[in-house]
């Protein structure tokens, strides 16, 4: 999958622009040759205008597509960074939960169990807050998907409360 993306990128960045330039030069050369040998007929003049317009539209479409992709990447970058930071935070806290569980295996007193459970409860609470913040970040980008996820989470919570 990783090798397909560079090939696609090469196709979009090199081949299509080169193809557009070659077609443009070919059309220009053909009309230049005709202009040097005789005068254009009305039909040829219209055809030249149509060719120039179509090539212009194709170049505009292609360049707009590239600039929109770049703009989208620039808009998404801050959200991706914050999501990545939150993912790292969640990863660290899960590691901490694992460490505390490992410590609880070695603990023998009932008081230490209560302390460990309190620590775990605090970690879980703050990780849920982090997850909620991450969902808020993504509401700006994909609001429909976040609403669907909220709906699913509400259904899961309702099911757990019935137990």
pLDDT tens track for 71-117: 877 777 777 777 777 777 777 777 777 777 777 777 666 567 777 77
**Helix pair angle (143-162, 110-139), 10° resolution:** 150
- Give the number of residues written for the chain: 163
Query: Residue 40: what are its φ and ψ, rounded to 5°?
Result: -70, 145
- Whether the CB-CB separation of 134 and 79 falls below 8 Å is answered with no
pTM here?
Answer: 0.43
**HSE-up (13 A, CA, CB side) for residue 135:** 15
pLDDT digits (tens, 9 = 90+) for 144-155: 888 887 888 788
The whole-number pLDDT of residue 1 equals 46
Chain CA centroid to CA 82, Å: 13
């Amino acid at each position: 999958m990783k090798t397909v993306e560079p090939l696609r990128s090469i196709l979009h960045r090199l081949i299509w622009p080169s193809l557009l330039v070659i077609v443009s030069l070919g059309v220009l050369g053909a009309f230049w040759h005709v202009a040097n040998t005789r005068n254009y007929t009305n039909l040829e003049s219209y055809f030249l205008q149509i060719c120039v317009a179509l090539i212009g539209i194709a170049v505009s479409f292609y360049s707009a597509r590239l600039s929109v992709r770049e703009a989208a990447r620039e808009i998404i970058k801050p959200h991706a960074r914050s999501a990545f930071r939150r993912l790292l935070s969640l990863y660290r806290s899960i590691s901490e939960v694992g460490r505390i569980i490992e410590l609880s295996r070695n603990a023998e007193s009932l008081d230490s169990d209560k302390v460990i459970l309190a620590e775990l409860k605090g970690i879980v609470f703050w990780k849920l807050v982090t997850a909620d913040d991450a969902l808020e970040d993504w509401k700006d980008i994909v609001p429909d998907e976040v609403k669907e996820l909220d709906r699913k989470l509400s259904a899961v919570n309702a099911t757990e409360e019935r137990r």
